[in-house]
Amino acid sequence: MKGLLNKLRQEGVVRSQWVYDTMLKVDRADFIEKNPYFDNSQYLGYNVVISAPHMHAYALEYLSPALTNFRNFNPKNFRILDIGSGSGYLTVCLSKLIDDQGIVVGIEHIPELFLKGKRNIQKHHKNLLDDKKIILLNLDGRNGYKELGPYQLIHVGAAAEKIPQVLVDQLAKGGRMFIPIGLDPDNQYIYVVDKDLNGNVTYKKTISVCYVLLTSKEKQLRGEC
């Protein structure tokens, strides 16, 4: 992991010590069977992949600055939503980003992936599940999970046609969402959605990406993503 992170730092992907230290606490070998330290996406089955390490680093780098909006609050009150938790890797990273304080809600709609992600987390981070610092749900993530919101951070691991208002509504004041937008894999971009302390929402188009689509379980299993 250290070699991989040093490479990402040299390439300018990992910029902050905060993100470097966070990713160093989570061994990708717990979540990927082959070549865990290669910087590429890998197939998980069920027509879905785990993102390349540089994309996870980008997600953490874009999301983490928003947490400074809440430094006057108790981190135990933090809530983070990870839609498309898949292998469980980034879900654990998000927990480490807040020093295992608060709650990270991971949503995965494919039952087999949901169970695989849970098993992966149990290898070295079982305490996070036992202590309900990480809560995994086998649900359709397109609607988020308002029961535990609002969320200081929302990460969406699949591309939507447009920014879902239902997720914007679940974003806390001062919070930030990281979401890929675009149905065409050749024309997708990460959008950073910020909600300021007065509830005003702004949208910023950032890097070009290529993600599977945020769709139903049935369409994903048929390969329509």
Backbone torsion region of residue 182, taken as left when φ is above 0, otherwise alpha when ψ lies between -120 and 50, otherwise beta: left
Rounded to whole angstroms, the Cα distance separating 225 from 215 reads 7
Instruction: Write out the two tokens for 132.
Output: 């309900």
Rounded to whole angstroms, the Cα distance separating 85 from 54 reads 17
Amino acid identity, residue 147? E
Active site residue 51: yes
Rounded to whole angstroms, the Cα distance separating 69 from 120 reads 32
What does each C-alpha distance from 208 to 98, 119, 144, 158 come to in angstroms? Answer: 27, 32, 24, 14
Catalytic residue among 51, 64, 85, 87: 51
Cβ neighbours around 13 below 10 Å, total: 19
Rounded to whole angstroms, the Cα distance separating 79 from 74 reads 11
Residues with Cβ within 8 Å of residue 83, at least 6 apart in sequence: 107, 141, 142, 144, 154, 155, 156, 157, 158, 167, 214
Query: With contact defined as beta carbons under 8 Å apart, do 83 and 144 qualify?
Result: yes
* Residue 204 backbone dihedrals phi, psi, to 5 degrees: -130, 125
The catalytic site residues sit at 51
